[in-house]
């Protein structure tokens, strides 16, 4: 059963990407995760919040939500935003394209990732890092 560890709610503005990175580091510090896990998760959170800010949309005011939980020895991070799950896909950008590599980074760094409808409405993109926590 997942053990909720923390979360944050962000405005859908570019400044929220840096805020998400800083807050994730701060909020996960008491968990004593290995530096490499935190660094990889910060990069993936940054990419997914960027995508949420760029591609999320709603009829009225909306927020980006980031939640993380422990599942056994694994850390699962979820990013929720308005929008249609069908828009989440890996791209193959050319060498000259400036964008389009966010999910490729997530795919390379996470042990698993997926997208689905969010329980908050809109889209969920989640990733898992196995063995993020030291065995008890």
Supply the pLDDT for residue 135: 78
The pTM of this model reads 0.91
How many residues in total does the chain contain? 136
pLDDT at 15: 97
Distance CA(111)–CA(73), nearest Å, equals 13
68-123 pLDDT per residue, tens: 999 999 999 999 998 776 577 666 656 666 565 688 899 999 999 999 999 988 89
pLDDT tens digits for range 27-83 = 999 999 999 999 999 999 999 999 999 888 888 888 999 999 999 999 999 999 987
Alpha helices in the chain (DSSP H): 15-28, 35-55, 102-109
How far, in Å, CA of 48 to CA of 104, rounded? Answer: 11
């Amino acid at each position: 059963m997942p053990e909720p560890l923390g979360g944050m709610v962000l405005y859908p503005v570019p400044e929220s990407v840096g805020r998400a990175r800083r807050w994730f580091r701060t909020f996960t510090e008491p968990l004593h995760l290995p530096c490499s896990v935190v660094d990889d998760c910060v990069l993936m959170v940054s990419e997914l919040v960027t995508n949420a800010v760029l591609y999320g949309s709603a009829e009225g005011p909306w927020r980006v939500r980031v939640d993380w939980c422990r599942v056994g020895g694994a850390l699962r991070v979820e990013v929720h935003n308005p929008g249609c799950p069908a828009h989440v896909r890996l791209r193959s950008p050319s060498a000259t394209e400036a964008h389009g590599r966010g999910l490729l980074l997530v795919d390379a760094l996470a042990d698993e990732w997926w997208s689905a409808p969010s329980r908050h409405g809109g889209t969920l993109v989640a990733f898992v890092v196995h063995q993020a926590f030291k065995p008890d």
